Chains A and B, each alone.
Chain A
Amino acid sequence: MDLSNNQAADVLQLKNIHKAFGGVVAIEDFSLNLKAGEIVALVGDNGAGKSTLIKIVSGVHAPTSGTIAIDGQQTSFKDATEARASGIEVVYQDLALADEQAVYMNMFLGREKTKGPFGQLDRKGMVQETEQLVKELDVRIPSAKTTIRNLSGGQRQGVAIARATHWATKLVLLDEPTAALGVAETAKVEENVAALKERNLAVLIISHSLDQVFRLSDRICVLRRGQQIGVRETAKTDKNEIVSMITGV
C-alpha cells in the first residue's frame, strides 16, 4: 500500500478541477489520474465540457480552482507554450496546421532546426527527420516537402498526430481527431493513436464514437453538463452502461 510511490508513476493528476466562464460553470469538480502508456477516453454530449478540460490541461485556460500535477509536480501553466515545454502536445479538433507551408515546416512549426553562424533554417535536417517519422508512423504522404493544402483530411490529421508524437515526452491530448474523416482514414488515425501508447505516452482522447472509444481506450471517463459522472475500465463495462452515463437515463 505504498500510495505515494504509486502516485509518482502517474503522468497527469487532475484534482478537483473547477472552471467557470463568468457565470457559466463549464466543469464542476473533475479529478483524474493518467499513467504512462495509458489511453483514457473522455466522452459526453455536446457542451459537456470536454474541450474545456483539454484546454485547461494544455495551458490555454487556467482552472478557476483545483490543481494540476505533472509527474507528481504541481504546475500552473501560464500559456500553451509552457505546457508544451513540459512535454504535453495537443491535436486539435480544427487542425492547427499552416496550409501553405510544407509538411516538414509544420512538423517543426515554432521549433525550427537551425544551423550555422546566422541561424539559418536547417531544411535538410527537418526534411530528413520528418521523412523518418512519417515512415515510422506509416503516415502516407507524397513527401515531407508537400504543401499541407495538397493533402487529404486524413493525411493532415496524420501529420498533426505525427507532430504531437515527435514532440510529446509525457502526454498527448486529442480533441475529436477523426470527426471529419472517412472509415479508412479513421482506421489509420486510430493506428497512429495506438502507436502513442506503444511509445509509453499517456493519451487523453475525446471522441463521440463509442465504437472508437471501445477499440482504443483503457479507461473511459464520462462528463455530463460539466459533472464528472464516473470512470470505468473499458474491459469491465459496455456501451449500454456508458450511454446511460452520458445521457443520464
Chain B
Amino acid sequence: MQSTMQKLRQLNLSQYVVYIGFLLIFLFFAVTLGNDGFLTQRNLTNIILQTAPITIMAIGLVFVLAAGEIDLSFGSIVAVAALSSAVVLGEYPLFVGVLAGLGVGLAIGFFNGILVAYLRLPSFLVTLATMGLFAGVARSMTNLRSVPVLNESFVNMFGSGALFGVPSLVLWTIGAVALGHFVFRETKFGAHVLATGDNARAAQVTGIKVPHIRVWVLTICGGLAGLAGLLYAGRLQAARYTLGESDLMTVIAAVIIGGTALKGGKGTIIGALVGSLMMGMLNNGLILMGLSVSDQMIVRGVIILIAVAISLRDVNN
C-alpha cells in the first residue's frame, strides 16, 4: 500500500503531459473543425509533412539540452545551410549540394561547440551571438534573394518524392527519430550526454570526456539543423533567408513539452517527436479556424506557456 503510494508520487507527471496535451488538442480540433477538413487524410498527412523539419531540429536540441547546454542558433543554420545547398546545386550534382548543406550545418555546430567546450563560454551567449551572426550571413549570401532549387532528384529526395508510397519527408522523420532515439537511449554516448548535463564534475571524475561531449552535441544539433534546411529547400523548391527564422520558439517548446529538462540530465527523443507533432497540429488547427496571423501567435504563445508550466511544475516541487 505504502509502496504504491510511493510509486505514484515518483511517477513523473511531466513525462506524460505531452501525450495528454496531444490528445486533448487533437480531440478539440476534431470536434470543432471536423467539418472544416481537419480530419481529412490529406490534412493530417500535411501536418506530418510540415512538421518534419521541426522534428529534425528538435532531435538535435534534445541532445544539447540533455547535456546541459542550449542552442539558439539552429534557426539561422537552417537558412545558411538551405541557401548553400541551393546555390551549389545550381552548378554541381546532387551529392555535392547535399554535402554543402549538411557540411555547413555541422561546421557551424562544431564552431559553437569549440567555443563552449574549450573557451568555457556559456552556450546561451555563444549561440545567441552565432544566431545573429549567421542570420546576417544568410541575408548577405544572396542579397535577400531566394534561390530556386531545380535539381529534380534533390526535390524528390528532400521534398515531394516518395518511396514505396511513403513520402520522403515522413521517411526522414522516421529515420532521424529512430537513429536519434537509439543513440540517445541505447549507447554509451547517450549515457555520457545525460551524465554531463546532470553533473559535469561527476562525469569528469569518472573519466567521461566532458568537453568532447559538449562539442559533439552542438555539432549534432548543427548537422540536424542543416538537414532541416535541406527539407525546407526540397519541399519549397527554393531556399530563402527566412527559412527557420521563426522556428526557435516552436522547437524549444516542442522539446520542453516533450519532457526534456531545460537544466540538463533528462531528455526524450520520442517525447520531442510528439511535442513537435503537437505544435504542428496546433498551427494547422489555428489556421483552419480562420485566426489572423497575429491572433495565431497569441493563442500559440498562451498554449505553449500553459504546457511548459505543467511540464516544469514537478521539477520545481
Q: Are B188 and A98 in contact (CB under 8 A)?
A: no
What 0/1 readout, one digit per residue, does chain A (94-135) give for beta carbons within 8 Å of chain B?
011111110001000111101000111100000000000000
Which partner residue on chain B sits nearest A121 by CB separation? Answer: B186
From residue B34, how far is it (CB to closest CB) to chain A in Å? 42
| Complex CA distance for A120 and B188, rounded to whole angstroms | 7
Q: Are B199 and A98 in contact (CB under 8 A)?
A: yes
Inter-chain contacts of A142 with B (CB < 8 A): 6
- Contact partner of A101 (CB less than 8 A), chosen from B10, B188, B195, B201, is B195
In this assembly, does A84 line the interface, its C-beta being within 8 Å of a C-beta of chain B? Answer: yes
* Interface-side segment among B129-137, B204-212, B300-308: B204-212
Which partner residue on chain B sits nearest A94 by CB separation? Answer: B201
In this assembly, does A237 line the interface, its C-beta being within 8 Å of a C-beta of chain B? Answer: no
Q: Are A99 and B207 in contact (CB under 8 A)?
A: no
What 0/1 readout, one digit per residue, does chain A (62-94) give for beta carbons within 8 Å of chain B?
000000000000000000110010000010100
| Complex CA distance for A192 and B187, rounded to whole angstroms | 32
What 0/1 readout, one digit per residue, does chain B (141-183) give for beta carbons within 8 Å of chain A?
0000000000000000000000000000000000000000010
Q: Are B198 and A120 in contact (CB under 8 A)?
A: no
- Contact partner of A98 (CB less than 8 A), chosen from B182, B202, B261, is B202
- Contact partner of A84 (CB less than 8 A), chosen from B191, B199, B207, is B207
Tell me the chain B residues, 251-284 only, with Cβ under 8 Å from chain A.
261, 265-266
In this assembly, does A150 line the interface, its C-beta being within 8 Å of a C-beta of chain B? Answer: yes
From residue B296, how far is it (CB to closest CB) to chain A in Å? 35
* A99-B199 contact, Cβ under 8 Å, with A80-B207, A81-B207, A92-B205: yes
* A114-B188 contact, Cβ under 8 Å, with A98-B203, A101-B265: yes
Inter-chain contacts of B10 with A (CB < 8 A): 147, 150
Inter-chain contacts of B203 with A (CB < 8 A): 98, 109-110
- Contact partner of B206 (CB less than 8 A), chosen from A96, A120, A150, is A96
From residue A206, how far is it (CB to closest CB) to chain B in Å? 17
Q: Are B195 and A98 in contact (CB under 8 A)?
A: yes
From residue A122, how far is it (CB to closest CB) to chain B in Å? 10
From residue B237, how far is it (CB to closest CB) to chain A in Å? 37
Tell me the chain B residues, 177-233 only, with Cβ under 8 Å from chain A.
182, 186-188, 190-192, 194-195, 198-199, 201-208
What 0/1 readout, one digit per residue, does chain B (67-108) give for beta carbons within 8 Å of chain A?
000000000000000000000000000000000000000000
Inter-chain contacts of B207 with A (CB < 8 A): 80-81, 84, 110-111
Inter-chain contacts of B201 with A (CB < 8 A): 96
Q: Is the interface on chain B under 10, 10 to 19, 20 to 34, or 35 or more residues?
A: 20 to 34
* A101-B192 contact, Cβ under 8 Å, with A109-B208, A120-B187: no
From residue B206, how far is it (CB to closest CB) to chain A in Å? 3
Q: Are B194 and A112 in contact (CB under 8 A)?
A: no
Inter-chain contacts of A109 with B (CB < 8 A): 191, 195, 202-203, 206, 208
Inter-chain contacts of B266 with A (CB < 8 A): 100
Inter-chain contacts of B265 with A (CB < 8 A): 98-101
Inter-chain contacts of B190 with A (CB < 8 A): 121
Which partner residue on chain A sits nearest B201 by CB separation? Answer: A96
Inter-chain contacts of A60 with B (CB < 8 A): 205
Q: Are B186 and A97 in contact (CB under 8 A)?
A: no
- Contact partner of A105 (CB less than 8 A), chosen from B182, B186, B191, B204, is B191
- Contact partner of A90 (CB less than 8 A), chosen from B191, B204, B205, B208, is B205
Interface-centre pick from A60, A92, A98, A101 (highest chain B CB count, 10 A)? A98
From residue B179, how far is it (CB to closest CB) to chain A in Å? 11
Interface-centre pick from B6, B206, B207, B261 (highest chain A CB count, 10 A)? B206
Interface-centre pick from B190, B191, B205, B266 (highest chain A CB count, 10 A)? B205
- Contact partner of A118 (CB less than 8 A), chosen from B6, B187, B194, is B187
Q: Are A112 and B198 in contact (CB under 8 A)?
A: no
Tell me the chain B residues, 287-311 only, with Cβ under 8 Å from chain A.
none
Q: Are B187 and A96 in contact (CB under 8 A)?
A: no
- Contact partner of B195 (CB less than 8 A), chosen from A84, A92, A110, A120, is A110
| Complex CA distance for A142 and B5, rounded to whole angstroms | 14
Inter-chain contacts of A147 with B (CB < 8 A): 10
From residue B314, how far is it (CB to closest CB) to chain A in Å? 12
From residue B15, how far is it (CB to closest CB) to chain A in Å? 12
Inter-chain contacts of B199 with A (CB < 8 A): 96-99
A105-B194, A105-B195 given. 18 additional CB < 8 A pairs?
Answer: A60-B205, A80-B205, A84-B206, A90-B205, A95-B202, A98-B194, A98-B195, A100-B194, A101-B265, A109-B191, A109-B195, A109-B203, A109-B206, A114-B188, A118-B187, A119-B188, A120-B187, A147-B10
11 contacts between A and B (CB under 8 A): A80-B205, A96-B202, A96-B205, A97-B199, A97-B202, A98-B199, A99-B199, A99-B265, A101-B195, A111-B206, A111-B207
In the A-B complex, list the 8 residue pairs whose CB atoms are closest, starting with the nearest. A110-B206, A98-B198, A100-B265, A96-B202, A81-B207, A110-B207, A109-B206, A98-B199
